[in-house]
Amino acid sequence: MKEKNGWLRIGGYRVAEVIFFLLIAFYFSGGLPFLPESWNAVFNTTPKIYRKLFVYVAAAAVILGLVLFEWARWDKEIGTRSFLIRVIETWESASMFWITGFFVLFGFWWTASGLLRHAALQTSFDMAIFTQAIWNTTQGDWFYSSIKGGICLLGDHFAPLLAVFALPYRAWPEPGLLLAIQAFAVASCVFPLARIVRKSGQSPSWAVLFCLAFVLSLPVRNAVRFDFHPEVAAMPFLFWTFVFLEERKTLQASFFLAIALMAKENIATIAFAFGLYATFFMSSPKPTSSVGDAECQARQRVFLNPVRLWGIGWMVFSVVYFFTIIHVLIPKLSGAPYAYLDGNFTSWLQAGWGPFIKHVLRPDTFEYLVKIYGPLAFSSIFAPAPFILSLPTLAQNILSRNEMTRSIFFQYTATLTPFVLISSVMALAKLRFFRRYAAYLILLTAVLMSGGSEVYPMRRQWISITPHTKQVRAVLRAIPSEFSLRTHEFYAPHAANRKELHIYENNHLKEGGSWKARHADYVVIDSALLKEHYASEKQILLKSGYGLSLEEDGLAIFRRMNAAIPSKKVAL
């Protein structure tokens, strides 16, 4: 009887374990191999139902997995036979295998997702801006951007790191290359993150857990899936800066922080936070084999120890750098004052405390904080020292009048997320009791707030690639780069390899409404985007000196009457 009960117990565990792995497969595959096509048709029209389903599936998988793990821990007979236990044990014995696997898997997965989004004509304004500036750099017109009004793009956002991307882009001038570089750059963050976890004194299993939380993070996935941005690709440099700073390797830390600083001018505020962190929270040298505790204490009493000197230096440099960039270089390069302070952050000085507090204490502020810190169970706030590194970007996103900065669906979380992870790691490193249950909580919140599988947007993008979208891409590619072009925001990234490119929907006098834009050699418009305005826009173009070259399936190409004939045929 006892033997029979044992087999029933083991059999029940096996069945539950199979269900668990099926739930995992269902989650990561987007349910495609499991659901009938009729269900997928319903999900296409009501994506909210699909997302809710995946929340329930994720919750069921995590809860069942934790129950099975605890069951196997308490029942030694089951523990020796549990496949789940064997998998978890490899987190400890083969953590680098898992971490490298995350890098390879999610690097390719995010690349595929980004390329599908691009092929579905869903990359937009920013993708066109950066792609054109990089292409122009390869042609010797350094950072030139016709989309931003014919200026050097460094006069908009100071991102000289774009020149680095011009090197591979010259060899393979495809916008998709930038998306692939961005995807693998972000995926590579698992390596410095794992090193931070191990240096904090935590086991390899914790390194795998935090890396899993990183690749599942919705702010991370959304940022890398969105248009190419240099600050997103710079995420690993922020991680490596922290790694080398913690190891007191100030030269290497400066190197990586300087590279990150080249991605966007506002990273200077993060550099200042790094200096603050090093000056006030890292002033104690770590003992080494050649330096005892007594000598370390003596060095600590010296005001200018190397780490503190590094911190003070970077605080001073970041202030001077930021002031010089926004008040000297950007105005000189653009011919106009820095555009992202006046009417945005500095406007609060005129508005007063009332509107300022009302803006900060809006309900969506708290919703934003939940989306940022919730996936790690708000553990980040329990490590005040590294937590300050997240405050510059957090303050910018909340204080900005740009509503998109409070969203986790754009690039604005890119310089915030690394420090959310780092402060969580440092907080949990101090935890001495209930560590296993803390891991359960992190795993549960990370999965529950990860949204749907990456397969879901990829499937929707795949469906969006129609004969018409293929036709649009072919038409845009057929217009030679020596001719100027004006077209829709979502089409511009596919025609960005040219000096003069303008956005059709943009009527700003210095940009889409400029003389150059209104007299572009070619104009490509689509009735699918203009809808009821398509006929009237055609008439406006015909009356303003354009002739209709080709029109098919609602896609029209207009050529300016005195424009030269293209060197290769433009064919639909």
Residue 290 has pLDDT above 80, yes or no: no
pLDDT tens digit string along 41-66? 777 777 777 777 777 888 888 899 99
Helix, strand, or coil (residue 559): strand
Amino acid 454: pLDDT: 82
**Phi then psi dihedrals of residue 290, to 5 deg:** -100, -5
List the 501-503 sheet strands across, edge first: 501-503, 485-487, 522-526, 555-560, 546-552
Amino acid 297: pLDDT: 56
Amino acid 407: pLDDT: 87
Mean pLDDT of 201-221: 94
Mean pLDDT of 496-503: 93
Distance of CA 168 to the CA centre of its chain: 21
Return the percentage of the chain with pLDDT > 90, whole number. 58
Domain ranges in the chain?
2-93, 99-123+174-456, 464-560
Residue 493 tokens, joined: 């990234």
Q: How far apart are CA 122 and CA 118, in angstroms?
A: 6
Amino acid 567: pLDDT: 46
Question: Is residue 486 a contact partner of residue 512, using CB atoms and an 8 Å limit?
Answer: yes
Q: How far apart are CA 422 and CA 196, in angstroms?
A: 8
Amino acid 295: pLDDT: 57
Q: Which residues, at least 6 apart from 12, have a Cβ–Cβ distance to it below 8 Å?
A: none
CB crowding 228-264: b at 16 or more within 10 Å, else e: bbbbbbbbbbbbbbbbbbbebebeebbebbebbbbbb
Amino acid 500: pLDDT: 93
Mean pLDDT of 342-365: 80
Amino acid 59: pLDDT: 84
Question: Is residue 117 a contact partner of residue 465, using CB atoms and an 8 Å limit?
Answer: no
Antiparallel, parallel or unpaired: β 546-552 and 151-152 = unpaired
Amino acid at 344: N
* pTM of the predicted model as reported, rounded to 2 decimal places: 0.90
Amino acid 572: pLDDT: 46
Look at residues 519, 477, 474 and name the one whose alpha carbon lies nearest to residue 496.
477
Q: Tokens 């890398």: give the residue.
A: 224
Residue 344 tokens, joined: 């945005």
When pLDDT is cut at 50, 70 and 90, the band that residue 349 belongs to is: confident
Amino acid 563: pLDDT: 61
Amino acid 183: pLDDT: 96
Q: How far apart are CA 415 and CA 69, in angstroms?
A: 35
Helical residues (DSSP H) of 282-334, grouped into ranges: 293-300, 306-324, 330-334
Amino acid 14: pLDDT: 87
Amino acid 568: pLDDT: 47
Alpha carbon distance, N-terminus to C-terminus of the chain: 77
Strand-pairing partners, residue 556, are: 525, 551
Mean pLDDT of 167-173: 94
pLDDT tens digit string along 233-287? 999 999 999 999 999 999 999 999 999 999 999 999 999 999 999 999 885 555 4
Amino acid 293: pLDDT: 57
Q: Which residues, at least 6 apart from 147, have a Cβ–Cβ distance to it below 8 Å?
A: 125, 128, 129, 132, 492, 501, 502, 503, 506, 511
Amino acid 108: pLDDT: 95
Mean pLDDT of 459-473: 90
pLDDT tens digit string along 118-140? 999 999 889 999 999 999 999 99
Amino acid 26: pLDDT: 85
pLDDT tens digit string along 390-449? 999 999 999 888 888 888 888 999 999 999 999 999 999 998 888 889 999 999 999 888
Burial class of 328 by CB neighbour count within 10 A (0 to 12, 13 to 18, 19+): exposed
Question: Is residue 233 a contact partner of residue 286, using CB atoms and an 8 Å limit?
Answer: no
Look at residues 529, 153, 146 and name the one whose alpha carbon lies nearest to residue 333.
153
Please report, for residues 96, 105, 207, 325, 433, the alpha-carbon distance to residue 239 in angstroms, rounded to integers and kept in the order given. Answer: 18, 20, 14, 24, 27
Q: Where does 14-86 show beta strands of DSSP type E? A: none
Burial class of 385 by CB neighbour count within 10 A (0 to 12, 13 to 18, 19+): middle
Amino acid 6: pLDDT: 65
Amino acid 285: pLDDT: 53
What stretch of H or E contains 549? strand 546-552
Question: Is residue 278 a contact partner of residue 321, using CB atoms and an 8 Å limit?
Answer: no
Q: How far apart are CA 247 and CA 30, in angstroms?
A: 41
Residue 165 has pLDDT above 90, yes or no: yes
Residue 2 tokens, joined: 């006892």
Distance of CA 356 to the CA centre of its chain: 28
Q: ∠ at Cα 501 (496, 506), nearest 5°?
A: 115
Mean pLDDT of 171-193: 96
Mean pLDDT of 503-532: 88
Q: How far apart are CA 107 and CA 102, in angstroms?
A: 8
Q: ∠ at Cα 454 (451, 457), nearest 5°?
A: 95
Amino acid 5: pLDDT: 57
Q: Which residues, at least 6 apart from 564, have a Cβ–Cβ distance to it below 8 Å?
A: 483, 521
Q: What are all long-range contacts of 104-112, with beta carbons under 8 Å and residues at least 24 apart?
A: 104/187, 106/183, 106/187, 106/215, 107/183, 107/184, 107/187, 107/188, 108/183, 109/454, 110/183, 110/186, 110/187, 110/221, 110/224, 110/225, 110/454, 111/179, 111/180, 111/183, 111/184, 112/458
Amino acid 320: pLDDT: 97
Mean pLDDT of 469-477: 92
Please report, for residues 525, 528, 557, the alpha-carbon distance to residue 552 in angstroms, rounded to integers and kept in the order given. Answer: 11, 12, 9
Mean pLDDT of 460-488: 91
Q: How far apart are CA 572 and CA 563, in angstroms?
A: 20
Q: Which residues, at least 6 apart from 314, have a Cβ–Cβ distance to it below 8 Å?
A: 254, 257, 271, 272, 274, 275, 278
Q: How far apart are CA 231 and CA 37, in angstroms?
A: 39
